[in-house]
Structure 1
Amino acid sequence: MKTSGRTITVSAPGKIHLLGEHSVVYGKPALLTAINLRTNVILTAKPEGSLANASSSDELRDSSPPTATQLLADQNDKIKAIIEPIVKKYLKIKQIPPYKLEISSEFPLGAGLGSSAAISSAYIGALLTFLKIKWDLHLINKLSFEAEKAFHGNPSGADNAAVVFGGLIWFRKETTDLKIIQPINSPVPANIAGNFILINTGKPKETTKEMVGLVKLRVKSQESRVKKIFDHQEQLVKELLLTIQCGNEKELIKIIRAGEKNLEKMGVVSWYVQSIIRKIEKAGGAAKVCGGGGKTKATGVLLAYHPEKSVLEKIAKSYDLPYYTVVLGAEGLRKEI
C-alpha cells in the first residue's frame, strides 16, 4: 500500500457531561455536549522500510513545565499500543505502513473533558484515512469504544459518542450492543449559554477507571440505595434537557445542584471540591463535577453556572484555580485540511 509522503490531520473536540456520568454505565441516560477545545492527531507517512512508527516525543521535550501536548508525546507508545491492535484486528491485517505520530491538545488531560475519547477517535480516524478506508463516523465510534475499554475498563460509550458526533448528545446504553445516540438539534438559549464556565480543580489522583470501579463496588454493596440515586439522576437528566431547551435559569440551577448531590452520594466528589461547590451555591450559582471525579482532592473540571459569570470567576480566583469559558455544542470529529 503506497502511503509515503502523505500527511493526515484529524481533530476531535473535548466533551463535558452536563449530567448523567457514572449512572450512564448502568443503563441510565446522560446528556453530553462537545466543546470547542480540540485534540489534533497528525500522521505523516514514512518511507517504506523505516524501522518503526516513530513519535514526536523527543522533539517536544524541553526544560519548560510539560504542556498537555508534551505529556501526550511521552505517552505516544502507550496510546499506539492500544489503538493499532484494534485497527489491525478490524481490518484483519498484520502490518501498518510506517508513519510518524504527533498528538496535540488544547485542553488539559485527565480533567473530565474526554481526553482519551478525543485521542482515540482522532487517532483511529487518522489511521483509517491513512490506510485509505472510507470515512465512517459510526465505524470510528465503534472502534473508539474498544479503545475506551482499554483505557477505562467499563466505559458507557457516551464519551466517544460525544466527541465523534459532536453537538448536544442524548446517550443511553440499553444493552452491551444497543446504544441510543441521539443528537439534539436545539441550541442552548442565549440567556443561559454565556453564563457557564469550567473551573479546573486539577488532575485527580485516581484514574477514571478507578472511579468507575469505586461506583461498581457501591452498586454491589449498597444496591438498593444506589439504584434510587441512579433513578433520581435519570429523572434529572430528562428535566435538564427540557430546561435547557426552554432556557429556564432557575430550574437549571436547581437541577445542577441536585445532580451534584447525587454524584456526592456516589462517592466521586472529594471534600475539597465539595467545599468549592458549596461556596458557588451559597453565592446563588450551581456547579458539578464532569467525568469520573476524584475522592482525594482534585476532581478535574467543574461545570459551573451563575446568572453573573463574574461571581464564578472571583470564586475560582480565590482558590487560585484556572477557569475558562467554552462554546457548547461544538462540531465533532473532522478531517482538517
Structure 2
Amino acid sequence: MIKISVPGKIHLLGEHTVVYGKPALLAAIDLKATVSISSAKNFTGNSVLKKAIEPIIKEKFNLKKIPSYKLKIDSQIPVGCGLGSSAAVSAAYIAVLLSFLKIKWDPGLVNKLTYEAEKVFHGNPSGGDNSTVIFGGLVWFRKESPDLTTIQPLTFTIPKKIAKNFVLINTGKPKETTKEMVEMVAKQCVKFKKIFNMQEELVKELLPAIREGNENQLIQIIKAGEKNLEVIGVVSPSVKSIIRKIENAGGAAKICGGGGKTKAIGVLLTYHKDRKTLEKIAKSLKFPFFRVTLGIKGLRNEN
C-alpha cells in the first residue's frame, strides 16, 4: 500500500482577485487529506475523482490503460468550505497513482497535474490552492499570465502572539460552488478593476504586518480586504452580519474561499487579540469553530 497526505489551505488574503493576476497570500493548515492505493482485481473508490484524474495521467504519460486498484480517501478537510479540499485530495490521489504506476514524480510535476484536475472541478482556478497544499508553509502566489506564475514559499514563521489568535468558524457549505462564484465575478470583472488593485496593495501590506506581529495593522487589513470582497458580491447578507458582530467586538473576519450569495460561505478566517472572544461569538451562533496551525509542511509520503 502507498499512502500520501496533503494539507488543506487558507487564503489569508487575495481570493478571487488572484484569478486576475493579483497576488495572494496563502497558508497550509494542519487539516489533511490522506489517500492510499493498493492493487485490486477491480477498481474500488471514488469513481467521480477517478474519471477526472485518470484521463489527465493517461494523456500526460501516453497511457492506454491503467491497472485496477483500490483507492481509499481519508480527509479531515471540510468539503466546499474554502479550505482547499479538492486540491488536497486531487494532489494526494495523483501522487499515489503515479507511485502505483512506478512513474517518478516530484512536487512540481504533481502541482502541474493537480492544476489540470482543479480546472475540471473549478473551471478557471488560479493555481494558488494546489500550489499551497503541495509546497506547504506560507506561500506568495501570483499568476500574471499562463506563462508567468510566481510561487514563492516564505521562509519566516508567523509570530506566536499572532498565530495563537486565529480561529476558523465554519458557517456551513455554500449553496454555490467555487466555480459558480468565480464565473459570477468574471461577468462583472471590468467594473471591479479598482477593487482588484486595492486588494493587491492590501496583500502587500499584510506580509510585513504578519512578519512583524503587528496586530492592529493585521486587523485593519483583514477588515479592509473583507469589505472589498463584499463589494464584488461574494459574501452573503447573513454572513456579513456575523462579520460585523466580530468587528464590533474588536476583531476582524473574512471569507476564505469562493464565498456564497445566499447563506453559508464556508469557513470564516477570524482574528482577535483575545481568541476567547471569537470562540464565544461562534458558540452563541452555534457554529463549529477550531484553531489551526498555519504554515505546515505540504505533500508528504506517509509510508
Name the TM-score, length of structure 2 as normaliser: 0.99
Match for 1:53: what amino acid? F
Mapped pair 1:106 → 2:76: yes
DSSP 3-state at the match of 2:145: coil
Aligned counterparts of 1:77 and 1:201: Cα–Cα separation in 2:
29
Identity score, percent: 63
Which amino acid is 1:91 matched to?
F
Match of 1:168 in 2: 138
Distance 1:45 1:105 in 2: 21
**Deviation string, structure 1 residues 68-109 (Cα, Å, up to 9, x no partner):** xxxxxxxx1111100011011111001111100111111211
Of the three residues 83, 106, 121, the one matched with 1:151 is 121
Instruction: Say which of 171, 183, 197 aligns to 1:201.
Output: 171
Counterpart in the other structure of 2:263: 297
Q: 1:16 aligns with which of 10, 29, 36?
A: 10
- 1:114 offset after TM fit, Å? 0.4
Mapped to 1, the partners of 2:159 and 2:75 lie a distance apart of 28
Q: CA deviation at 1:247?
A: 0.6
1:271 partner letter: P
Letter in 1 for 2:43: N
Task: Determine the structure 1 residue equivalent to 2:35.
Answer: 41
Match status 1:234 vs 2:200: yes
- Which string of whole-angstrom CA distances, capped at 9 and with x for unpartnered residues, describes residues 185-216 of structure 1? 11001111100000000000000000000100
1:31 to 16, 25, 36: 25
Letter in 2 for 1:85: P
| Alignment match of 2:185 (pick from 215, 236, 258) | 215
Q: Is it true that 1:54 corresponds to 2:24 in the alignment?
A: no
From 217, 225, 234, the counterpart of 1:259: 225
Q: Secondary structure at the match of 2:141?
A: strand
Q: What corresponds to 1:306 in structure 2?
A: 272
The correspondence of residues 43-82 of structure 1 with structure 2, limited to 5 A, is: 43-46=37-40, 50=41, 52-55=42-45, 76-82=46-52
| CA distance in 1 between partners of 2:89 and 2:147 (Å) | 23
Instruction: Give the alignment partner of residue 235 of structure 2, picking from 262, 269, 291.
Output: 269
1:117 and 2:87 equivalent? Answer: yes
**Helix, strand or coil for the counterpart of 1:291?**
coil
Aligned-pair CA distance for 1:318: 1.0
The residue identity in structure 2 corresponding to 1:10 is I
2:30 maps to a residue whose letter is N
Larger Rg: 1
Give runs of ≥4 in structure 1 deviating > 3 Å: none
CA distance in 1, matches of 2:286, 2:77: 18
Q: 2:247 aligns with which of 263, 281, 284?
A: 281
Q: Residue 176 of structure 1: CA displacement?
A: 1.1
Gap regions ≥5 residues in structure 1: 1-6, 56-75
Residue by residue, what CA displacement relative to the aligned partner does 1:237-280 show, whole Å, maximum 9, x if unpaired? 00001110111000000000000000001100000100000000
Aligned-CA RMSD value: 0.7
Alpha-carbon offset, residue 133 of structure 1:
1.5
SS of equivalent to 1:174: strand
AA at the equivalent of 2:125 = P
- CA distance in 2: counterparts of 1:293 and 1:143, whole angstroms: 25
**Residues of 2 paired with 1:40 and 1:302: CA distance?**
24
Counting matched residue pairs gives: 303
Unaligned 5+ segments in structure 2 are none
In the superposition, the TM-score normalised over structure 1's length comes to: 0.89
Match of 1:133 among 98, 103, 107: 103
| Helix, strand or coil at the partner of 1:203 | coil
- What amino acid does structure 1 have at the position aligned with 2:145? T
Q: Give the residue type in structure 1 aligned to 2:289.
A: Y
What is the aligned partner in structure 1 of residue 287 from structure 2? 321
